[in-house]
Structure 1
Amino acid sequence: MQTRALAGLSRRAVDGARRAQSTAAAAKPFVAKKYKNATPTPFPTKFHPTFSANNAQPVLPVGLTFNPPPAAPSPYDTPGLFLPADEQAKRAVVTPALDGPLPPALTTPAPKGYHLGEADVAEIRRLRAADPVKNSRTALAAQFKCSPFFIGMVAPASEERKDEMAKRLSAIQQSWGPLRRKARLQRQKRRELVARDD
Structure 2
Amino acid sequence: MTSQSILILKRNSSTSIKQLKRVPNVFNKIHSAGNVKPNYQPGLYHHPSPSISIETPSAFLPSNDPRKSLRTSTKNFANAPALSTPREQRLNLTPKEVSEIQKLRNEDPEIWTRNSLAKKFDVSPFTISLVSSPNKSRSGEMTNRLNTIKESWGRQRYLARLDRQKRKTQWYRDE
TM-score, scaled relative to structure 1 = 0.41
Structure index of larger Rg? 1
Larger relative contact order (C-alpha < 8 A, sep ≥ 6)?
A: 2
